[in-house]
Amino acid sequence: MQCDGGLQFNKILTFVTKFSIFSKDRKNRNEPMNLTPSASKFILHWGQMGTRWGINRTVAQIHALLYISPEPLHAEEIAATLSVARSNVSTSLRELQAWRVVEVIHVLGDRRDHYTSHTDVWEMFSRILEERKRREIDPTLALLRDCVAEAEQEGDAHVQTRLSEILSFMETMSGWYAQMQRLPRSVLLKLFKLGDKVQTLLTKAT
């Protein structure tokens, strides 16, 4: 860079030093983050919704904090900001990594692990749905298939019929989900934007 561009270079360097995740000042950031009212409201609500979805409140709150954070956070900073135990933070972070919505990154000059959330909303919810299917739907499908087979061997036609209806419905939904997952995002967006026009198209097709 030419000398007459020194001033511009210094401005760029100041910006990078201030906002980069590699800033040396990060190693001293053990104090709670100063959350705005809207950020606090979102984190609290995400935690409440998490419990309704069967997810631990702290796990959901940490996910919300990492999602809105402009930079990766280390566990001590998360614990201080949310006023939760450090051990609870560690357990929750492992759970979020298992859901594949949070990942570990390393910061230059800091030996601690830092964590960041995926900010692509489509990708984030796609991973959550995929993991819920793996944890909840797939085991249920396997169990239902076994129960239907057992009911048939036992000669219990009534139970077999009822369970077969549930199995058929869940297999249909599972198959539909698998097909939707293979579609490009652009196609899915167009499909969602069609709304009730889908019914008109399907009626004409039949």
Q: Does domain 29-118 have CATH number 1.10.10.10?
A: yes
- The most distant pair of C-alpha atoms in the chain lies apart, rounded to whole Å, by 90
Average pLDDT over residues 102-129: 92
How do residues 116-137 score in pLDDT, each as one tens digit?
999 999 999 999 999 999 999 9
Cβ contacts of 194 within 8 Å, gap of 6 or more: 201
How do residues 40-83 score in pLDDT, each as one tens digit?
999 999 999 999 988 999 999 999 999 999 999 999 999 999 99
Specify whether the CB–CB gap between 46 and 53 falls below 8 A: no
Domain locations along the chain: 29-118, 122-193
Average pLDDT over residues 107-124: 91
DSSP of 44-95:
HHHHHHHHHTT--HHHHHHHHHHHH-SS-EEHHHHHHHHT--HHHHHHHHHH
Question: Which pLDDT belongs to residue 206?
Answer: 61
Q: Which amino acid is at 43?
A: I
Confidence of residue 205 (pLDDT cuts 50, 70, 90): low
Confidence of residue 11 (pLDDT cuts 50, 70, 90): very low
Residue that wins the pLDDT comparison between 15 and 84 = 84
Percent of the chain with pLDDT over 90: 65
How do residues 140-194 score in pLDDT, each as one tens digit?
999 999 999 999 999 999 999 999 999 999 999 999 999 888 888 888 888 878 7
